[in-house]
Amino acid sequence: MSIAWPDLVAAFGLMLVVEGILPFLHPRGIKRALATMATLDDGALRVAGAVSMAAGLLLIWLIRA
The pLDDT value recorded for residue 7 is: 86
Mind spelling out the 3-state secondary structure of 12-63?
Answer: HHHHHHHHHHHHHHCHHHHHHHHHHHHHCCHHHHHHHHHHHHHHHHHHHHHH
Boundaries of domain holding 29: 5-64
Q: What does pLDDT average to in each consecutive run of 10 residues of the chain (65 residues)?
A: 82 95 96 95 96 94 89
Tell me the whole-structure pTM to 2 decimals: 0.71
Count of structural domains, the chain: 1
